[in-house]
Amino acid sequence: MPVTVAVIPARGGSKGLPGKNLMKVGSVPLVARAIQAALGTSRIDAVFVSSEDRDILECAKAYGARPIERASEIACDTTSSEAVLLAALDHPDVAALKPDTIVMIQCTSPFTSSGDIGKLVALLDDERFAAAVTVVEDHGFLWAADGDGIASGINHDIAQQRARRQDIPPQYRETGAAYAMRVAPFRASSSRFCGPVGLVVTDHPPIEIDSREDLELVRIIASQTTDETLPAGIFSNIRALVTDFDGVHTDDCVWVDQNGVESVRCSRSDGMGIERLRKAGFPVLILSKETNAVVAKRADKLEIPVIQGEADKLSALEGWAAQNGIAITGICFVGNDVNDVEALEAAGLAVVPDDARKDAKSVADIILKSAGGHGAVREICDLLLTDISRRSSDGGYF
């Protein structure tokens, strides 16, 4: 049978967004998302990650890929992807497999699926094609301007009656996500387009991460999900739930009477979720910046511990985790505002209510469908309970 290898270029240096290949989307580093997509199809026989960065190579091994330590001369801004792939083909571990097909997968396209990769390889089963590329359909009206700035239509005639968008013949735009090439013509041409090219049309967002704004956008897209479409294994390392109080257990509002006594509105549904999670043996903690008797009373009612008056939530979270023998990467943290961002970034799973502040949403792995005080806590509890039940049936919980 023909042998196909996947090579994932993942340089450590990046001027636009330093360290981006290890940044997380949906709680998984970008390089690991690419690895998971490659390992998820039977059409790939081995997955390699090429990098000059030790941390990236260690991450690659942890997620099941084989590392290729890249030479410094092909680890700079001007290095072409083709140069990286050709060097990978000459690596002893790759050469020993005598691959017929090579697939390049880009870390910066986080929504690439195993299905996309499988279709690329399958397309090369047709001997008419020497290469294949992932694309999206583009039905837009394209324009070009001459040297004087005068515009003219490229795929439409402005002298004719305006065509309907759906009547324009489809064009295809590269997503930049993945490419497949037959090894022999690729070596001969040193080009990813080494002969007749086939197209694999994808239907997910064709976003490439080049900036902080791109990263924030894909995190929001990835987090807008349901329990049926959450990434596989997203809860696998989670061993405790820690939540903020205001804006998570409440709607971030407070009633104050004429004597200055405060009261808040909480959800009984949230309380039931925590009770079920607690009875399943899952540690739960409330961590609040404010010191307020109402928080202590609510925690007492829920029969869970509370830490109050902590402006530095990350330090408090690290201290509680160490005292309880839990890695901070084993904590699911739910927060909603700017003072939760550090804890959200450090936790193994960052979760925010639907009405969380933008700063918190930008680092979230999951954005819940429910708002704070309106079932957000119950929603994350139910997701955790579902995973606990699954792992228990598989014999893999704790």
pLDDT tens-digit map of 242-275: 999 999 999 989 888 888 888 889 999 999 999 9
What is the reported pLDDT for 397?
47
Average pLDDT over residues 355-380: 91
Q: Confidence class of residue 224 from pLDDT cuts 50, 70 and 90?
A: low
Residues for the chain: how many in total?
398
Kindly report the average pLDDT of the chain as a whole number.
89
Instruction: DSSP letter for 328, please.
Output: G
| Ranges for all domains in the chain classified under CATH 3.40.50.1000 | 240-393
| Ranges for all domains in the chain classified under CATH 3.90.550.10 | 4-223
What is the reported pLDDT for 258?
86
Q: Confidence class of residue 102 from pLDDT cuts 50, 70 and 90?
A: very high
User: pLDDT at residue 220 above 90?
Assistant: no
Partner residues linked to 74 by β-bridges: none
Q: Which of 5-9, 45-49, 318-322, 359-363 has the lowest mean pLDDT?
A: 359-363
User: pLDDT at residue 3 above 70?
Assistant: yes
What is the reported pLDDT for 86?
96
Out of 3.40.190.10, 3.40.50.170, 1.20.120.160, 3.40.50.1000, the CATH code matching 240-393 is 3.40.50.1000
Out of 3.90.550.10, 1.10.10.60, 3.40.640.10, 3.40.309.10, the CATH code matching 4-223 is 3.90.550.10
One-letter amino acid at 320 equals: W
Average pLDDT over residues 6-31: 87
- The answer to whether the beta carbons of residues 35 and 49 sit under 8 Å apart is yes
3-class SS at 133?
A: strand
Beta strands 255-256; 262-263: pairing state: antiparallel
User: pLDDT at residue 218 above 90?
Assistant: no
215 Cβ contact partners less than 8 Å away, ≥ 6 residues apart: 17, 20, 23, 25, 209
pLDDT tens column, 41-83: 999 999 999 999 999 999 999 899 999 999 888 888 788 999 9
Phi, psi of 256 (to 5 degrees): -125, 125
Q: Residue 115: enclosing H or E segment and its boundaries?
A: helix 114-123
User: pLDDT at residue 324 above 60?
Assistant: yes
Most confident of 21-25, 96-100, 136-140, 261-265: 96-100
User: pLDDT at residue 165 above 60?
Assistant: yes
What is the rounded distance in angstroms from the CA atom of residue 353 to the CA atom of residue 366? 9
Provide the token pair at 284: 């739960």
What is the rounded distance in angstroms from the CA atom of residue 301 to the CA atom of residue 276? 14
pLDDT tens column, 135-156: 998 888 889 999 999 999 888 8
User: pLDDT at residue 392 above 80?
Assistant: no
What is the reported pLDDT for 398?
44
What is the reported pLDDT for 393?
56
Average pLDDT over residues 323-330: 93
3-class SS at 247?
A: coil
What is the rounded distance in angstroms from the CA atom of residue 56 to the CA atom of residue 59? 5
Neighbours of 199 (CB within 10 A): 17
What is the rounded distance in angstroms from the CA atom of residue 241 to the CA atom of residue 260? 32
Q: Hey, what's the torsion of the CAs at 74, 75, 81, 84, to 10 degrees?
A: 50
Percent of the chain with pLDDT over 70: 96
In this prediction the pTM is: 0.66
Average pLDDT over residues 226-246: 79
What is the reported pLDDT for 235?
86
Among 384, 26, 387, residue whose Cα is nearest residue 223: 26
Percent of the chain with pLDDT over 90: 62
What is the reported pLDDT for 360?
92
Helix, strand, coil content of the chain in percent (nearest 5): 35, 20, 45
